[in-house]
Amino acid sequence: MKIMMSSLIMVIIIIITFMITTMMSKKSKMSREKNTPFECGFSSMSSARKSFSTHFFLIATLFLIFDIEISIILPMYSTKMTILKEWMLSSTMILMILIFGLMHEWKNGMLEWSK
């Protein structure tokens, strides 16, 4: 119990320290010069910020999620023979969560490239 209490006190002290240092830190004012990219002292020729397709970002994020799914499921096959019930339960839960997520994305029209 003493360990938990001392850990809680340490966490509270750390959080308070972070909050105090954040409030006391110097805030820099953003200006046009600070927001422009540095090009060897010359004024920039064109805008450095190019438009980015948010739909492409969502598709890429979905790809990463399903790619991580494969890396989670593949090691499960090596443990399949040792603990069959737990393996079936965990793999079914992972697949169901991902399938429901995919159905939700599909239902909301996020997988359609052109609207």
Per residue in 59-105, pLDDT tens?
888 888 888 877 877 777 776 666 777 778 887 888 888 889 888 88
- pLDDT band of residue 4 (cuts 50, 70, 90) is confident
Q: What are the residues facing 42 on neighbouring strands? A: 39
Residue 43 forms part of a structural domain: no
Residue 2 forms part of a structural domain: no
Residue 75 forms part of a structural domain: yes
Residue 115 forms part of a structural domain: yes
Q: Considering its fold, how many domains does the chain have in total?
A: 1
Whether pTM > 0.85 for this model: the answer is no
Residue 10 forms part of a structural domain: no
Residue 21 forms part of a structural domain: no
Closest-CA residue to 110 (of 56, 72, 70, 35) = 56
Decide: helix, strand or coil at residue 39.
Answer: strand
Closest-CA residue to 95 (of 75, 77, 70) = 70
Residue 100 forms part of a structural domain: yes
**What is the domain range of residue 67?**
53-115
